[in-house]
Amino acid sequence: MIGCGNVTEVKSGPGFQLAEHSTLQALMYRNIDKARNYAQRHHVDTWYDNAQQLIDDPAVDIIYVATPPSSHKDYVIMAAEAGKPVYVEKPMALNMRQCKEMNTACKIAGVSLFVAYYRRALPRFLKIKSLIDSGEIGNVRFINTILYMTPSKIDLEKKENWRTNPEVSGGGYFVDLACHTLDILQFYFGHIIFAQGNSANQAELYPTEDMVIGNFIFSNGVQGIGAWCFSAYDKLDRTEIVGDKGKITFATFGNDPVLLETASGKQIFDLLNPVHIQQPLIQTIVDELLGKGKCPSTGETAARTNWAMDRILN
């Protein structure tokens, strides 16, 4: 594991220890004291302050890149050149151009590239997929997604925040959060083949956009619209998938129940996310590397999410 930030404490790190036929063998952090502290707390035997040393460790079979997006491309290419598969955090890179470079490097090296769009393996999102695929809401007509929230304390105080530094994150909260919704929708309906939008920095709390409006079309013809605002008075996370026989409503984040509405009435599916939320996807990666399954989130699928975000923002 390269990087030991907050995402690794609960969401991902323990998942590598708990998945079958997997262990977190070694980690790297630029500050060796912090690397040692993390390793001791999470029962990891080996730690480094140099990424190349970690990548070259013969006991390490696959590299997990858990750094901000600005360094994803370099670390993925380093791992590929060492002949090791890679699992990289989302968004995959700063832009689609970098995604292409990463995919090309892994293809040339003959190694797999996986991306941490873990909702593709979570029970509640697989339930939504089964409802769509079984025709519960008929032919899907359109998707309406909205996410808005109040500014965080760190942003109101205008303190340093890598998520709103475009040189580190590739954008603002839209890039950091909307990518999850756009990706899971592509899991349901195929690649986004058209996207456009408008963005603005309305509150001017940081140098990136805080308001984004977009519309998009999937490869199966389903159309969607989205609104994302990160300087609103309250918060809301809601996506509606509307068909000619019913509607599915869900939240991308949190554990809100999935709601199915048809002429027969309403059904609620209360499927809680696991504590270590990346563990189910990690298991699919382990299974694929062992020749026993297939991971649903790859460099190719994730690159399409970057492509859509690039188009909406530009």
Instruction: Look at the chain and report how many structural domains it folds into.
Output: 2
Percent of the chain's residues with pLDDT above 90:
99
Q: Does residue 100 sit in the same domain as residue 138?
A: no
Question: What pLDDT, on a 0 to 100 scale, did the predictor assign at position 125?
Answer: 98
- pLDDT 10s digits, 264-295: 999 999 999 999 999 999 999 999 999 999 99
Place of tokens 């890679």: 86
Q: What's the pLDDT band for 177 if we cut at 50, 70, 90?
A: very high
* CATH number (domain holding residue 91): 3.40.50.720
Beta strand segments in 219-295, E: 223-229, 236-243, 246-250, 258-262, 265-269
Question: What pLDDT, on a 0 to 100 scale, did the predictor assign at position 98?
Answer: 98
Q: Does residue 142 sit in the same domain as residue 112?
A: no
Q: Does residue 259 sit in the same domain as residue 132?
A: yes
Question: What pLDDT, on a 0 to 100 scale, did the predictor assign at position 171?
Answer: 96
Residue at 290 is within a domain: no
Ramachandran assignment for 77, one of left (phi > 0), alpha (psi -120 to 50 degrees), beta (any other): alpha
- pLDDT 10s digits, 116-158: 999 999 999 999 999 999 999 999 999 999 999 999 999 999 9
* Measured CA distances, 167 to 60, 93, 94, 148, 177 (Å): 30, 11, 8, 24, 17
Percent of the chain's residues with pLDDT above 70:
100
Q: Does residue 143 sit in the same domain as residue 98?
A: no
Q: Does residue 137 sit in the same domain as residue 248?
A: yes
Question: What pLDDT, on a 0 to 100 scale, did the predictor assign at position 86?
Answer: 98
* Phi, psi dihedrals of residue 146, rounded to the nearest 5°: -140, 135
User: What distance separates the 2 farthest-apart alpha carbons in the chain?
Assistant: 60
Beta strand 113-115 with 140-148: parallel, antiparallel or unpaired? unpaired
294 by Cβ neighbours in 10 Å (0-12 / 13-18 / 19+) ranks as exposed
**In sequence order, what are the residues at sequence separation of 6 or more whose Cβ sits closer than 8 angstroms to the Cβ of residue 1?**
8, 13, 16, 24, 26, 27, 28, 63, 64, 66
- pLDDT 10s digits, 56-101: 999 999 999 999 999 999 999 999 999 999 999 999 999 999 999 9
Question: What pLDDT, on a 0 to 100 scale, did the predictor assign at position 23?
Answer: 97
Q: 81: domain range? A: 6-118
Q: Does residue 89 sit in the same domain as residue 143?
A: no
Residue after which a domain boundary falls, among 65, 97, 118: 118
Averaged pLDDT score across all residues of the chain: 97
Q: What is the pTM of this model?
A: 0.97
Question: What pLDDT, on a 0 to 100 scale, did the predictor assign at position 227?
Answer: 98
Q: Tell me how far apart the terminal alpha carbons of the chain are, to the nearest angstrom.
A: 33
* CATH number (domain holding residue 178): 3.30.360.10
Question: What pLDDT, on a 0 to 100 scale, did the predictor assign at position 65?
Answer: 98
Question: Residue 202 is which amino acid?
Answer: Q
Q: Does residue 107 sit in the same domain as residue 129?
A: no
Mutual angle of helices 123-133 and 179-189, in 10-degree steps: 40
DSSP for 68-118? Answer: -GGGHHHHHHHHHHTT--EEEPSS-SSSHHHHHHHHHHHHHHT--EEE--G
